[in-house]
Structure 1
């Protein structure tokens, strides 16, 4: 195992990586310019430096990629390949990702501003996802239905066809792996649309996929904007499935596009305003406060499951909030290339201004600003950890997804009140619960309207556990064998015996 890189070593490697960026679309096993020739700039939010001009794909590129993907699927080279053979190719891809782990992590850090330590953690998750789904695919069995002797009934699982994956900028390569790994393992052709805010690691992944032996047309990458190439993929009559992670507003729009076209499947992992509930019976409030701070300030708060609503029993609220403030002091933003930085830069100017606008709203609405609420001077887009106390469910900062390092603290006196506060949201992606009372844990867990509940931890889980939400947080599931089910179709076969 190589030794951890120092700040200086990451800076040196960054210069080398920036000099060798792939910026073209990957279509039909080749890197090509957009049909229009248009490009867009991708910028390092920590410095303001333009990293590259990237191909800006639109409807023409989408049509071309979809035709290639359909041709590849129909050829059967991948879709009808034995599951064990697909597994070998995907495991080779995972091995190549491991070999280039530092480079891939650095691309995400440069492109969207997250700390390099966080990006390295993302790479472990991405590689683990590829390996888990690869290993799973030859262990998925069909069914023989119970019938009389006059018939044999089979239930088969087959790939869907062409899958378009539209992924976000906050965990660029990890979210990519969550989408493409089960889709490819199941035998589909996949077209990836990375966010225009973080396209670089996806294009490098395309190079590795080709090297791993994924056949031509089975995996393609179209950088560009949602309203151009993303919309074209969503409206395509020859795309069978659309998998999306991003905002609830865009998710709703994609469902409309599916209805306007071919009723393609749409799997959505959308926004969140996750409650993190702390009861007074916790034995170690210092530890819980540290976790509560990490739950919102990790990745600059640009996390769909961020524990942005902290619900604290009033009998310990004052003490607990002071402990959260102390933890936040050690989470100030720093240079993303510094391995000691806990927080990095906000992804771009529009998101930066959006967060600052919410902070201003919080003050105007009467919430108590306990810490933060400011940005750092300089060219980089850095916002300090911000904590508001005395928040109510009538305030924008208490109801709306901010997607930044802003924590809203609510108080409660009774268990019923905590449950009502937690469920009073349009979202239902995640929830946290801290208590030593097992009876309470079971009661509250069952009543929380959330796709996942973390008990005495935040964001726990591994590849065996599905990830996704309810209500306006979406309808699909990433990770685990359940994601494989989403990228395959059931076919029933009824065979009459002795009648022909």
Structure 2
């Protein structure tokens, strides 16, 4: 029988989470002994005192990772041997689903139903898919003269530092761990200080699966301290990041100031969800538009935060979306019936509330929601908000709010929709709703976005690359293209 609210609360009350760093195969306190309280956004409960690593810890972890890589204990194992370990790793993640889901929900506030059905299975799937892929990727032989042989081979890049966000801590970690480890690299993971618990737990599962000591390390702590130490370290070969565009730009600078390490970034978004009057199913489009802004409390880089609606249906369709949002009201995240949980912390709640005020100050009309609720719980809960009469030059249409705030913008024709959609510094994702196949193709081709979904929102699986254009970043997670970030190409030319 599935666990109910009282079961999850009992488990939460009994939880004793690991809070230490993980370096060279062992849990350990931060070298300087520093730690910080981690407070749950659900109800303000203390989850533990998390190790706060610094440059000393980074130095130790990089040394361990480099020694492990150079020894060949993992990097020179055959692909099929690494695959076996990765598959075991995925199995252990799946077996630990209730523990990992509880940690994820308590740490960042998402509904337990999502942690169980989306986050943990998605993490295991990423590890398994990349493990399965690694012994099926072939190198190349160049077309040469008879007396020459040209080989193009992939080699693991070395030591990888991965800095991951707080909104999908487990999945984002495994999108990076999967190809990085499968390719033979050593990895140092820096989880967000807002949601480090599942990353710390993953380290034990990795060791149990057979990942050798030093190959996978976890350094919790503040980005300005341990994150910067990794980004500027001269012996890190590649830096991968998911987070804000501002931090992504800083990491590029750190790489240039240090050793020109490879830097791959998945940054912000302000994604347009375009609904034409000829959409095949307006009710389905309305349901998707509500989900696109309310799922995961709107704390999603691909959130459909700009709803572009053809003028002839704007009033009717906006009313349909608002009606659908009635099904997306905040509740206790440990209740399996809850669809919207708590924002990650009080600081972020205040930031989103500030944007709601900015929208009103700029002259947009708050047509629905946007109120803080359930304050008596001590948690950070916010109703989804809908703004109409929005111009695309308003801050609520240009800046990433990272919360459940929807800006509705009308357009007259396809050309105007494309112009508005592309009028942003970002280019991560976009949605298109139309029954006209030619219009769908023309619009998708014109949109400057890394992912375009037609008559759905947030489609794709592990076979589809994920990443953005413009200031949404570079490189791709998921699919075979992800291995490009974690390998170097070598050309070997042989005279026969």
Length-normalised TM-score, structure 1: 0.98
Q: Is the 8 A contact 2:280 2:433 kept in 1?
A: no
Task: Quote the offset at 1:484 in angstroms.
Answer: 1.2
Query: Aligned partners of 2:2, 2:419: CA distance in 1, in Å?
Result: 46
Query: Aligned partners of 1:92, 1:478: CA distance in 2, in Å?
Result: 22
Aligned to 2:320: 323
Query: Aligned partners of 1:136, 1:394: CA distance in 2, in Å?
Result: 44
Say which of 208, 212, 215 aligns to 2:212: 215
Aligned to 1:180: 177
Query: Aligned partners of 1:82, 1:283: CA distance in 2, in Å?
Result: 50
Task: Quote the offset at 1:91 in angstroms.
Answer: 0.5
Q: Secondary structure at the match of 1:47?
A: coil
Give the RMSD, CA atoms, in angstroms: 0.7
Query: Aligned partners of 1:152, 1:286: CA distance in 2, in Å?
Result: 60
Aligned to 1:137: 134
Query: Aligned partners of 2:280, 2:29: CA distance in 1, in Å?
Result: 59
Task: Quote the offset at 1:41 in angstroms.
Answer: 1.1
Gaps of at least 5 residues in structure 1 are: none
Query: Aligned partners of 2:2, 2:189: CA distance in 1, in Å?
Result: 31
The 5 A counterparts of 1:255-404 are 255-376=252-373, 377-378=375-376, 379-404=378-403
Q: Secondary structure at the match of 1:283?
A: coil
Q: Does 1:475 align with 2:456?
A: no
Query: Aligned partners of 1:214, 1:439: CA distance in 2, in Å?
Result: 49
Length-normalised TM-score, structure 2: 0.99
Query: Aligned partners of 2:438, 2:90: CA distance in 1, in Å?
Result: 42
Query: Aligned partners of 2:86, 2:458: CA distance in 1, in Å?
Result: 27
Task: Quote the offset at 1:15 in angstroms.
Answer: 2.3
Greater Cα offset, 112-121 or 421-430: 112-121
Aligned to 2:100: 104
Query: Aligned partners of 1:492, 1:394: CA distance in 2, in Å?
Result: 48
Task: Quote the offset at 1:474 in angstroms.
Answer: 0.1
Q: Does 1:414 align with 2:410?
A: no
Query: Aligned partners of 1:158, 1:124: CA distance in 2, in Å?
Result: 29
Aligned to 2:5: 7
Aligned to 2:17: 21
Task: Quote the offset at 1:283 in angstroms.
Answer: 2.9
Aligned to 1:34: 30
State the number of aligned residues: 493
Task: Quote the offset at 1:6 in angstroms.
Answer: 1.5
Gaps of at least 5 residues in structure 2 are: none
Deviations 1:257-288 (A, max 9, x none): 00000000000000000000000001321111
Query: Aligned partners of 1:450, 1:192: CA distance in 2, in Å?
Result: 28
